[in-house]
Chains A and B, each alone.
Chain A
Amino acid sequence: MLRYCMLALLGLLAGLALLPWHMQEAGVLAGAWVRASMTSPNAAPALFQAAIFGRWWFIPIIAAAFLGLAVHVLFSGRKLSQASAARAMTAIGALGFFLILAQGAAIGPGGWSYAALSDAFGPLGQKQFGVGAGMAVTTIGFLTLFTTGLAGQGGFRSDPFTAFAVGLIALLIVSFTAWPVGRMLVMALSPTPGQNAIEALANRLLEPKIWGLACLYSGKSCGVAWNTVALALSTALAATMLGLCFALLVTRTSFPAKKLMRALTILPIITPSFVIGLGLILIFGRSGIVNQGIEQLFGLDLGRWIYGFQGVWLAQVFCFTPTAFLVLIGVVEGVSPTLEEAAGTLRADRWTTFWRVSLPLMRPGVANAFLVVFVESIADFGNPILLGGSLGLLSTEVYFAVVGAQANFSQAAALALLLLLLAFGAFYLQRKILGRYSYVSMSGKGDAGLGQPLPDRVRRFVYGVTLPWTVLTVGVYGMALVGGFVKVWGRDWSPTLSHYSRAFSLEWGPSGVLWSGSAWNSFFTTIQLAAISAPVTAAIGILTAWLLTRQRFAGRTALEFALMLSFAVPGTVLGVSYILAFNVPPLELTGTAVILVLCFTFRNMPVGVRAGMAAMSQIDKSLDEAAMVLRASAARTMTNVLLPLLRPAMVTALIYSFVRSITTVSAVIFLTSAEHEMATVFIINRVINGDYGVAIAYCSVLIVMMMVALGTIQLLVGRRNLGRRTAGAKAPAPAHA
């Protein structure tokens, strides 16, 4: 406890006296603030702000830190019992935390934030900006004090590390998921002249633009909610069926190229979702090869038929079939062959067995795949923006409400709320289905039976569906690749490298290399921010996985539920809520690189947590217990026992969160700024401008880069696995429980 108290005090010292309290334009690392801190209060650490610039509102915070020091001194001098020291620490931690929040909320860039305050205290000549390194570190310091105090009072099995980890994760979830989403809710409820909050929200939500049914009886389009749901249902239906066919193909037939099929499933992970849309435009668009061919042969102009519901649907089915396949392959493999053999011995023919035994067993898994695709579809942004045409969908409408002429944030928030409710609804159904009807055996024990071959009718159907679809998929990706080497698609087919050179050209100027290509700026920014967020994601993810799988503490179920819920928040919603929440002090982050890193981190948390949970469940729990009995602290157990065993999982989490950061569109489109431009946003803008060449060239470069990254890692991790011996401690199976 003393050690953690010491650490907390060091954090407080650094946060209050060594780091600038507020956000620095040039970044903390640039160091320009050091010189400026003597002249400008906003560049100075809190201690100087209070001492030199008379900013009295930091004095209580500094005083709280000194109280913490006093407790430490008294406790280490045995003047204070452990119990009372712990209670004091908890109280001081909470107090400091509250004081930081209070000063941040009360005093903003325009002096007092609330009229009541300036009435009470008189006008304030000072202003302060958003959170900086100092405030962040001080907050962590008080948090450590608080959680150490809780552990000292017997909470969290008296382990200060666990207590701190729980506190940190909870703080992060609250700050970067709950708070933004809450702000969004408040925004959606913001009253308008003549309407109170509820009326205003009802007004926003019940618009005919959202719920209109005009398409049923006239040529006009329906409301965006109906469009979104209809699209998501039809996409989910088609993708699930295709995914099931592919899963059956790979597991239950003697199809020769199964490896290739599995390889194809990583494509959607490493490609931004709109690459499919792009490929479809090149095939079916106005200057697409199909349209051109038909026009030449039959003189028919197909026009813009690909733009609209059918186009988005097609693109999404292409996009999410692999997702469904990944879910369903586990489902199909989970059906115990022994059951099918048993059905066989009970005089059922193959058709009956498949229809009456296998399919019903798969039903919960199929429903789950359906819901997974449903959520992906409603959250998808890239395909609708490229192919939607005049089709209104929730995710794009949210975007247009924000960037449109009137910048109607309240409307955006209301639409995002609707999107969020849809996602939560699907999440709720998913939990219910998986909780209640999962017959799939998860033991991982080998099953002696052999997978039954499919009945002939089913097999013919599976082949008939999957083979053409594979050809189409390859065609779409191929088209997207070839497009980068053609001068003007549809008009001038002469081969060229000009798109690549426009995007990625280098020149040698007097002062060395000039990155003159138009893509370099966004390319480097993207890589840099993704590379910063990946380790953060992996670390938080694995810490969380450790807490959830290995620690028992009050509120664990709540934490787990909050996490799962936060995973269900669609990217568009997260993006909107971030701009709504983080444009006001104290957490004023809009337009900075920090907000992008945070967005990446919390968008990719599920990847880190799932990788961590999967790996953690492979590690026998008695290993941690042995370490504990052998006098190791939780921190030592973590670093010396678990982390070495978790290395492959960490590498996986790192790479996947890196890759996903690069390919994501939906959330970052709200958060990019001219200064911090993201690759995907750059590409989408090129496509919207009809500049396909550069967009395609850029996509190809990204895809190849990520393939190389994934391949290298696969190789490294694969080799490590070979080098690692089977865990000796787990080798002998216990004879008895």
Chain B
Amino acid sequence: MTNSTLQLGAEPIAARKPAAEVRLEGVGKRYGKVTAVKPLDLVIEAGSLVTLLGPSGCGKTTLLRMIAGLEQPTDGRLLIGGRDVTHLPPGERDVSMVFQSYALFPHMTIAQNVAFGLISGGMAKDAALAKADLALDQVGLPGLGGRLPSELSGGQQQRVAVARALVLEPSVLLFDEPLSNLDARLRRRMREEIRDLQQRLGVTVVYVTHDQSEALAVADKIVVMRNSEIAQIGSPRELYQQPANTFVASFMGECNNVKADLADVAGGRGRLTLGSSQVLTAVPDGLEQGQVDVAIRPEAVRVLPKDSGCLQGVVSHATYMGSCIEYEIETDIGGLFVVCGDIAGMRAKGDPVGLDFVASGIAVVRP
């Protein structure tokens, strides 16, 4: 299994129809008094891979299931490829889904599982099984069609689930935390394969995860959700470097939240005072000069000899991590968490150090 990939064979699964855009207009979901998803607007461009990212319980799964048709929205309208599908059952939406638990039918063979959707759609049994075999070849599981799901490893089951969804040639493919049942190593491989596959087939993919590194690795665009609503939408780079608020900043990776003075705000940029130096940064709309929240990535702080740099501090913790050193440093603007690649020059607890900042890792954020 370790040698197989989701490599396409000579033939593609089929001549693909164009991918479809998914458009949510004020779509929301309430369960009685509980609001699982507040009404929101979202456009997922045709052929792109969008991840829904957020902590557990923020409504990602509910949103995905509404796109799939497994839940009826209580508000709004949902369009796939320009067609209003709000009230259509899942089978008529031209979408397909890979479930978190894979949901392979335990009493059917792998081939029967993969052929299931084709047969539901009215294809003759023989043709469907032949096509299923082809799809299994293409996800790197040739010759396993006769087995039962319980006779496959977790990673293989995952591939079967993907094959079963892909063989229907949907214009939108949905994934709900597809990798959460795999071990860390396999998770990395599979996410690359899924990304690869999506790029080659050009299909629209909506991908739910709670793991920010997974989202950063696969997505064209990330939708960060919090408390049933969208916190920020952007490319991985935008979200990491210009988070809109402290929540997104912390969720997208380790970060130091400090207060600093902002001045000379004009044209979406401003001058930020950090210690004795001034940094020019982007400023989110609506923020004015004065004291603001600043997110500083740990790798954006450089550790220098004492009395150099723009800020002085004292090491309060130093942890050797193998590929880097992690420091906690007490400074005038608060405690800073710093990741430093200079292993040879490791400081000890109590050492005084100077600090400097890399502008690309600093962002002014809303609270």
Q: A residues touching B (Cβ–Cβ < 8 Å)? A: 154, 157-159, 620, 622-623, 625-633, 636, 640-641, 644-645, 724-737
Residues of B within 8 A of A154 (CB): 87
Whether A641 contacts B105 by the Cβ 8 Å rule is yes
If A631-B121, A737-B56 touch, whether A623 touches B150 (CB-CB below 8 Å) is no
Residues of A within 8 A of B157 (CB): 728-729, 732
Q: Within residues 116 to 131 of chain B, which ones have a CB less than 8 A from any CB in chain A?
A: 116-117, 120-121
Main DSSP-derived SS at the B contact region:
loop
Residues of B within 8 A of A730 (CB): 101, 106
Q: Is B95 an interface residue (CB 8 A)?
A: yes
Give the contacting residue for B90; candidates A629, A731, A737; CB below 8 A. A629
Q: How far is the CA of A622 from the CA of B174 in the complex (A)?
A: 14
Whether B96 contacts A630 by the Cβ 8 Å rule is yes
Q: Is B256 an interface residue (CB 8 A)?
A: no
A-B pairs with lowest CB-CB distance, top 4:
A728-B149, A630-B117, A728-B150, A626-B103
Q: How far is the CA of A735 from the CA of B183 in the complex (A)?
A: 10
Q: How far is the CA of A103 from the CA of B157 in the complex (A)?
A: 59
Whether A631 contacts B106 by the Cβ 8 Å rule is no
Please name the residue on chain B nearest to A640 by beta carbon: B116
Whether A727 contacts B150 by the Cβ 8 Å rule is yes
Residues of B within 8 A of A632 (CB): 91, 116-117, 120
Q: Is B151 an interface residue (CB 8 A)?
A: yes
Q: Is B68 an interface residue (CB 8 A)?
A: yes
29 contacts between A and B (CB under 8 A): A157-B72, A158-B89, A625-B70, A625-B90, A626-B104, A626-B164, A628-B70, A629-B95, A629-B117, A630-B91, A630-B117, A630-B164, A631-B121, A632-B91, A645-B106, A724-B106, A726-B106, A728-B148, A728-B149, A729-B101, A729-B102, A729-B149, A729-B157, A731-B150, A731-B154, A734-B177, A734-B181, A736-B210, A737-B57
Q: Within residues 47 to 71 of chain B, which ones have a CB less than 8 A from any CB in chain A?
A: 56-57, 68-70
Whether A734 contacts B180 by the Cβ 8 Å rule is yes
Q: How far is the CA of A724 from the CA of B89 in the complex (A)?
A: 32
Residues of A within 8 A of B57 (CB): 737
Residues of B within 8 A of A631 (CB): 91-92, 117, 120-121, 168
Residues of B within 8 A of A640 (CB): 116
Residues of B within 8 A of A732 (CB): 101, 154, 157, 181
Chain B 79-90, CB-CB to A under 8 Å as 1, else 0, gives: 000000001111
Give the contacting residue for A727; candidates B56, B88, B106; CB below 8 A. B106
Q: Among A157, A626, A633, A730, find the residue whose CB has the most chain B CB atoms closer than 10 A.
A: A626
Whether A728 contacts B91 by the Cβ 8 Å rule is no
Please name the residue on chain A nearest to B93 by beta carbon: A629
If A630-B96, A731-B150 touch, whether A620 touches B89 (CB-CB below 8 Å) is no
Q: How far is the CA of A626 from the CA of B98 in the complex (A)?
A: 8
Contacts between chains A and B (CB distance < 8 A), count: 118
Q: How far is the CA of A270 from the CA of B364 in the complex (A)?
A: 76
Residues of B within 8 A of A641 (CB): 105
Please name the residue on chain B nearest to A627 by beta carbon: B116
If A629-B95, A630-B91, A631-B91 touch, whether A729 touches B56 (CB-CB below 8 Å) is no
Whether A630 contacts B89 by the Cβ 8 Å rule is no
Please give the distance in Å from A73's CB to the nearest CB on chain B. 24
Residues of A within 8 A of B99 (CB): 622, 625-626
Q: Is B100 an interface residue (CB 8 A)?
A: yes
Residues of B within 8 A of A630 (CB): 91, 96, 116-117, 120, 164, 168
Q: Is B107 an interface residue (CB 8 A)?
A: yes
Q: How far is the CA of A603 from the CA of B210 in the complex (A)?
A: 49
Whether A645 contacts B107 by the Cβ 8 Å rule is yes
Whether B97 contacts A626 by the Cβ 8 Å rule is yes
Please name the residue on chain A nearest to B100 by beta carbon: A734
**How many B residues touch the partner, as a band?**
35 or more
Q: Among B154, B164, B180, find the residue whose CB has the most chain A CB atoms closer than 10 A.
A: B180
Give the contacting residue for A729; candidates B87, B105, B121; CB below 8 A. B105
Q: Is B152 an interface residue (CB 8 A)?
A: yes
If A158-B87, A629-B68 touch, whether A622 touches B116 (CB-CB below 8 Å) is no
If A645-B107, A734-B100 touch, whether A628 touches B150 (CB-CB below 8 Å) is no
Give the contacting residue for A157; candidates B89, B104, B150, B210; CB below 8 A. B89
Q: Among B95, B120, B151, B210, find the residue whose CB has the most chain A CB atoms closer than 10 A.
A: B120
Question: Apart from A631-B91, A726-B150, A729-B104, what are 9 other A-B pairs with CB-CB below 8 Å?
Answer: A626-B99, A626-B164, A632-B116, A632-B120, A633-B91, A645-B107, A726-B106, A729-B105, A736-B210
Whether B90 contacts A622 by the Cβ 8 Å rule is no
Residues of A within 8 A of B210 (CB): 736
Residues of B within 8 A of A625 (CB): 68, 70, 90, 97, 99, 103
Residues of B within 8 A of A626 (CB): 97, 99, 103-105, 164
Whether A729 contacts B103 by the Cβ 8 Å rule is yes
Residues of A within 8 A of B165 (CB): 629
Please give the distance in Å from A228's CB to the nearest CB on chain B. 41
Q: How far is the CA of A515 from the CA of B100 in the complex (A)?
A: 62
Please give the distance in Å from B156's CB to the nearest CB on chain A. 10
If A631-B121, A725-B151, A735-B181 touch, whether A623 touches B89 (CB-CB below 8 Å) is no
Whether B149 contacts A628 by the Cβ 8 Å rule is no
Please give the distance in Å from A497's CB to the nearest CB on chain B. 49
Residues of B within 8 A of A628 (CB): 69-70, 89-91
Residues of A within 8 A of B97 (CB): 625-626, 629
Residues of A within 8 A of B105 (CB): 623, 626-627, 641, 729
Q: How far is the CA of A725 from the CA of B116 in the complex (A)?
A: 20
Please give the distance in Å from B89's CB to the nearest CB on chain A. 6
Please give the distance in Å from A634's CB to the nearest CB on chain B. 9
Whether A736 contacts B180 by the Cβ 8 Å rule is yes
If A728-B148, A732-B181 touch, whether A629 touches B106 (CB-CB below 8 Å) is no
Whether A620 contacts B150 by the Cβ 8 Å rule is no
Please name the residue on chain B nearest to A726 by beta carbon: B150
Residues of B within 8 A of A734 (CB): 100-101, 177, 180-181
Q: How far is the CA of A636 from the CA of B148 in the complex (A)?
A: 20
Q: Among A620, A622, A632, A728, find the residue whose CB has the most chain B CB atoms closer than 10 A.
A: A728
Q: How far is the CA of A168 from the CA of B101 in the complex (A)?
A: 34
Q: How far is the CA of A730 from the CA of B101 in the complex (A)?
A: 6
Q: Among B99, B121, B157, B168, find the residue whose CB has the most chain A CB atoms closer than 10 A.
A: B99
Q: How far is the CA of A157 from the CA of B88 in the complex (A)?
A: 8
Chain B 205-231, CB-CB to A under 8 Å as 1, else 0, gives: 000001000000000000000000000
Q: Among A159, A625, A630, A729, find the residue whose CB has the most chain B CB atoms closer than 10 A.
A: A630
Q: Among A158, A631, A640, A729, find the residue whose CB has the most chain B CB atoms closer than 10 A.
A: A631
Q: How far is the CA of A625 from the CA of B120 in the complex (A)?
A: 14
Residues of B within 8 A of A736 (CB): 56, 177, 180, 210
Whether B120 contacts A633 by the Cβ 8 Å rule is yes
Residues of B within 8 A of A737 (CB): 56-57
Q: How far is the CA of A257 from the CA of B92 in the complex (A)?
A: 58
Residues of B within 8 A of A729 (CB): 101-106, 149, 157
Whether B100 contacts A622 by the Cβ 8 Å rule is yes
Give the contacting residue for B148; candidates A623, A725, A733; CB below 8 A. A725
Please name the residue on chain A nearest to B174 by beta carbon: A629
Residues of A within 8 A of B168 (CB): 630-631
Please name the residue on chain A nearest to B92 by beta carbon: A631
Residues of A within 8 A of B56 (CB): 736-737
Q: How far is the CA of A549 from the CA of B273 in the complex (A)?
A: 60
Whether B103 contacts A623 by the Cβ 8 Å rule is yes
Whether B70 contacts A620 by the Cβ 8 Å rule is no
Give the contacting residue for A622; candidates B103, B120, B164; CB below 8 A. B103
Please name the residue on chain A nearest to B148 by beta carbon: A725
Residues of B within 8 A of A735 (CB): 180-181
Whether B89 contacts A159 by the Cβ 8 Å rule is yes
Chain B 123-154, CB-CB to A under 8 Å as 1, else 0, gives: 00000000000000000000000001111101
Residues of B within 8 A of A733 (CB): 181
Residues of B within 8 A of A158 (CB): 87-89
Give the contacting residue for B120; candidates A636, A644, A724, A725; CB below 8 A. A636
Please name the residue on chain B nearest to A644 by beta carbon: B107
Q: How far is the CA of A633 from the CA of B91 in the complex (A)?
A: 8
